[in-house]
Amino acid sequence: MKAVQINNYGGVEVLEINGNVQTPNSSSDRILIEVYAAGINPIDWKVRAGYLRDLVPLTFPATLGGDFSGVVVWSGGDAVDFKVGDNVYGQGGLLNGGSGAFAESLAAETSKIAKMPKNLDFLSAASLPLAGVSAVQALEDHIKLGKDQKILIHGGAGGIGHIAVQLAKSKGANVATTVSSRDMDFAKSLGADEVIDYKREVFENLLKGFDSVFDTVGGEITNRSFQVLKAGGIIVSMAQKPDGELAKKYKVRAIGQQTEGTPQRLNRLAELVDNGLIKVHIDKVFALDQVKEAFAHLEKGHARGKVVLKIK
């Protein structure tokens, strides 16, 4: 089968498209899936660059890719929830016990996948898992966002941010979001009540007394966000563990989230999509053979929503 692999860490130049990779082994709790599409996330280039090598050292050649959608071609043993022919989606990357999603076939752990949303195409489904689960975990499990609460979402046009804005609006929250100038109309179309141009405006001067902040950007943005919160509020950051001293000073809870794509969260995401509460926006689709262009596109920034590889 064909797969995108690396033989050492580095830039886009280390990406290889290999045509004679062995179909991965399945087992009682790893089912075999024919991959139709695979979403690309910032973590994919961080893995490729070697930033996570201490956490999860790769054995080369390593097949890249996590988010996928596809069809089950072999299911046995413990995989009672899935049968051959099911449309599934989830996380099939090496970091999650899978064989890598940028490939024509994938073995994925049953604890990292779920049935695809019913009325969604494969490209959209492959774009959802990590970004969608990140938003669900932050807003529902950590923040427990409720009606009329005020939330600031940083990076509201990005992969995670654009899902989070829609999820927050579906709960009746009052949503402010930071985006670049070119994404202001897009963020409004997602339902955001207040859209702030992060390059021209200072968000902490405009927003006060917020119940929560969901930060998908990190760095100084995380620290500055404390000023927006009221006492008893909460900040969840995707990019780093927020400063504990600042949390004490502002009397708020601060969480650095590690996203976990459980079947429960993937099923919840599918329910939100099936109920029309969340739509994934695809910025650009690339063929598997164009994987270098796809990574370069994502890494230069300014993608609106998601970048995805069409594999079948």
Ligand X SMILES: NC(=O)c1ccc[n+]([C@@H]2O[C@H](COP(=O)([O-])OP(=O)(O)OC[C@H]3O[C@@H](n4cnc5c(N)ncnc54)[C@H](OP(=O)(O)O)[C@@H]3O)[C@@H](O)[C@H]2O)c1
Residues contributing to the site for ligand X (CB under 6 A): 41-43, 130-131, 134, 154-155, 157-161, 178, 180, 198, 216-217, 221, 238-239, 257-259, 301-303
Smallest gap from Cβ 89 to ligand X, in A, equals 16
Which of 102, 26, 20 lies closest to 69 in space, CA to CA? 102
What is the helix (H) or strand (E) element at residue 17, kind and residue range?
strand 16-18
Which of 180, 152, 4 lies closest to 92 in space, CA to CA? 4
The residue of the chain with the least Cβ separation from ligand X equals: 158
Smallest gap from Cβ 305 to ligand X, in A, equals 8
Sign of CA dihedral 18, 23, 27, 30: positive
Closer to ligand X by CB, 94 or 217: give it.
217
Closer to ligand X by CB, 187 or 288: give it.
187
Smallest gap from Cβ 203 to ligand X, in A, equals 8
- In the numeric block, which tokens belong to residue 4? 């995108």
Closer to ligand X by CB, 181 or 267: give it.
181
Smallest gap from Cβ 16 to ligand X, in A, equals 23
Smallest gap from Cβ 187 to ligand X, in A, equals 10
Measured at the alpha carbon of residue 149, what is the angle toward residues 194 and 146, in degrees to the nearest 5? 125
Which of 270, 273, 253 lies closest to 261 in space, CA to CA? 270
Closer to ligand X by CB, 20 or 258: give it.
258
Check: CB of residue 308 under 8 Å from CB of residue 126. yes
Closer to ligand X by CB, 5 or 178: give it.
178
Phi/psi of residue 78, nearest 5 degrees:
-80, -5
